Chain A
């Protein structure tokens, strides 16, 4: 098990998020996040030794999706590596690049321009080509199976998920507010899911500058430390009879907390990122944040302990590959201001197959 790191988050930046950013290319959208992150870090591209990015091919209509951005992260005649997953997994790789002294000043970027992709076609391709694809499934179909299983256990019901959506929209600075009843009244997609149960498709980008201790001190930016990262991958959705559980999220969190030497109760900020509302309940329950009313109140900011997803999370306005980093940026801002410790979770895959955890801490 890796030791806690001496890696610091010294720069934060985000692009303007919207359903369609037809006014900018992918490259320009990403620069909207990179430029303020560099400025915040008090550094510039020539100082950056390498970059790690997170994105998924074809979500913006292109293979090798990081080709659009490597020239603006210092990758021309420099190093850029793309992790095809949520950015929180990519942060684990970026940490490795820092810890082996490959890079001392790293630029981390996650980007998605979902308005340019044919999302149903892409999601359909994640299903078995022989036995499942002819039925035309997508992520929503599996999420519906998952929600049915979850609600059948009796711990949660659709109104809880609707309240998670409403809470996310209340925190959001991007999306319009909705009530739980709006969610329950929105168009049915796959029973028991409604249209507003799913995070909307958006164009967005988030960026960090990471530095080792020496560079963080040199640049006067020892505000927030990236303490630990851990990840676990579960079985393909159709091979998981207990699709309504997330033991991998718990295992990843336990590993990360063990590296940090922290307890869950010591956290001041918790962020859970998944594309469907009920999946937040599954993950929250797996992490030990409670069940039923008790957990839902955490999302609404009225429960015992700090609010969950005070950033609004994926449901409040982010995108695949970017959601975890959007939450990291939000938590880092809060830790800079208020101090404390934070946990960010995100998931990848059909029916939440992989779970990733990163831990952050304000300098004392």
Chain B
């Protein structure tokens, strides 16, 4: 069948941070209530629910089923996707496919995680092969220390350039009432003097561990305008993976092959030929400062090796030509199950003109990416324009 044109019509986020005041279900519900409440929707309007959460990261197994009431999924189909850091974006993509296929008209996506109740790094360590990788690649920091070391050697990017990304993120976060790390006076020097976690990653080069949730509603063309004055239309979605073992993928992460493959597919579908100028804003999933610089290159915002030059030129600052992560990004907020869905929601908010103090003027087209697992990438392109063709996935 011809796919149904589909849009994000509502978003909501909890307040992110160390949420000792609320349970995991309450945090998820905070995001859902803000999402549905913004459009006068109720659970009765929702046909199916897609949950994104990393199993056991807060010590709960089958957390979607445990929280079925809070998620509004009683007597409905409840899909749980579980794809690592990408999970929030994977859930958003699932919302898209469930609507575009004609199976449902309104689908609620919810990403959530309460990391203060678990040991995410212990769980992430099991990403690695138990024999070959686990002993030397514990947690996410080890992976990105390897990435950053490789990236420095390959591109000549400097710690100062990476620190500029860290500063940008935390200052942008001050304009986002939901963000976890809001550091208005942060400086490059402060980043470089912060604790060394694993060379060359300083504490302020890395994302926090947050409690939080994000919710979105995707709707079919026939009803999208009933819910949003300017729906954020999905113009392209794509997923790509790399190989299972880091050793199979030379320059892995520094050269993010899956992100290159996914954006290539998505750009073709959406008619993007000059990503540096065809997008008005981007929300990239950057777990570390160095990653954002590398992602600039891998999504085609600049030639390979020039990521540092882009931040030096101020292009990706909130008042630059192509703002990246005006929300504060992952460096400011990282509730794993929600993190990639936040990228989609923030991109949608920019397109809908509803991003509040961090709204970029005149956004017509936005890019959102998710990162996770063994270098997986999810990509979604959102636009204020209705897609000319309904074929937007790959």
Identify the A interface with B (CB < 8 A). Answer: 2-3, 27, 50, 56-58, 61-68, 70-71, 75-85, 89, 92-93, 95-102, 122-126, 128-129, 230-236, 239, 248, 251, 348-350, 353-354
Closest to A69 in B: B244
Closest to A212 in B: B1
Contacts of A85 in B (CB 8 A): 79-80
A83 touches B81 (CB 8 A): yes
B103 touches A354 (CB 8 A): no
> Which size class do B's interface residues fall under?
35 or more
Interface residues of B in 77-103 (CB under 8 A from A): 77-84, 90, 93-94, 97-98, 100-103
B94 touches A93 (CB 8 A): yes
Cβ 8 A contact of A75, one of B84, B123, B130, B241: B241
Given contacts A2-B102, A233-B76, contact A125 B56 (CB under 8 A): yes
B240 touches A231 (CB 8 A): no
B62 touches A126 (CB 8 A): yes
- Please, could you name 17 A-B residue pairs with CB atoms under 8 Å apart, sorted by A? A2-B103, A61-B126, A67-B84, A67-B127, A84-B55, A84-B80, A84-B82, A85-B80, A89-B77, A101-B393, A102-B393, A122-B61, A125-B56, A233-B76, A234-B74, A236-B69, A248-B75
A78 touches B68 (CB 8 A): no
Given contacts A64-B83, A93-B94, contact A233 B102 (CB under 8 A): no
Cβ 8 A contact of A76, one of B82, B83, B123, B241: B241
Cβ 8 A contact of A239, one of B69, B98, B240: B69
B101 touches A95 (CB 8 A): yes
A81 touches B55 (CB 8 A): no
A64 touches B373 (CB 8 A): yes
Residue of B3, B79, B238 with most partner-chain A CB within 10 A: B79
B101 touches A233 (CB 8 A): no
5 nearest CB pairs, A to B: A99-B101, A125-B61, A84-B82, A100-B100, A96-B101
B199 touches A (CB below 8 Å): no
Question: A95-B101, A100-B101 given. 15 additional CB < 8 A pairs?
Answer: A64-B127, A64-B372, A77-B241, A78-B240, A81-B81, A81-B93, A84-B80, A92-B77, A99-B102, A102-B97, A102-B394, A230-B77, A232-B76, A233-B78, A354-B65
Contacts of B75 in A (CB 8 A): 232-234, 248, 251
Given contacts A236-B69, A251-B75, A349-B62, contact A84 B81 (CB under 8 A): yes
Cβ 8 A contact of B126, one of A63, A78, A236: A63
Given contacts A27-B244, A97-B101, A233-B77, contact A77 B261 (CB under 8 A): yes
B242 touches A (CB below 8 Å): yes
Closest to A68 in B: B244
Cβ 8 A contact of A231, one of B54, B60, B69, B77: B77
Number of A-B contacts (CB under 8 A): 190
Cβ 8 A contact of A126, one of B60, B79, B237: B60
B391 touches A (CB below 8 Å): yes
Judged by DSSP, the binding face of A is mixed
B61 touches A235 (CB 8 A): no
A233 touches B83 (CB 8 A): no
B78 touches A236 (CB 8 A): no
B81 touches A233 (CB 8 A): no
CA distance A319 to B55 in the complex (A): 18
B244 touches A81 (CB 8 A): no
Cβ 8 A contact of B240, one of A27, A58, A77: A77
Given contacts A77-B241, A125-B60, contact A101 B81 (CB under 8 A): no
Closest to A116 in B: B130
CA distance A64 to B98 in the complex (A): 22
B66 touches A82 (CB 8 A): no
A101 touches B127 (CB 8 A): no
Closest to B51 in A: A84
Contacts of B372 in A (CB 8 A): 64
B79 touches A83 (CB 8 A): yes
Closest to B77 in A: A231
Contacts of A125 in B (CB 8 A): 56, 59-61
A93 touches B97 (CB 8 A): yes
CA distance A354 to B74 in the complex (A): 10
Q: Report A101 CB to chain B, min CB distance, Å.
A: 6
CA distance A98 to B103 in the complex (A): 11
Interface residues of B in 201-245 (CB under 8 A from A): 237-244
B2 touches A (CB below 8 Å): yes
Q: Report A112 CB to chain B, min CB distance, Å.
A: 14
Contacts of A231 in B (CB 8 A): 77-78
Closest to A56 in B: B55
Q: Report B337 CB to chain A, min CB distance, Å.
A: 12
Given contacts A62-B126, A232-B76, contact A129 B60 (CB under 8 A): yes
Contacts of A350 in B (CB 8 A): 62, 65
Given contacts A126-B65, A235-B74, contact A101 B3 (CB under 8 A): yes
Contacts of A235 in B (CB 8 A): 68-69, 74
A83 touches B101 (CB 8 A): no
Closest to B62 in A: A126
CA distance A237 to B243 in the complex (A): 39
Closest to A348 in B: B65
Residue of B59, B80, B258 with most partner-chain A CB within 10 A: B80
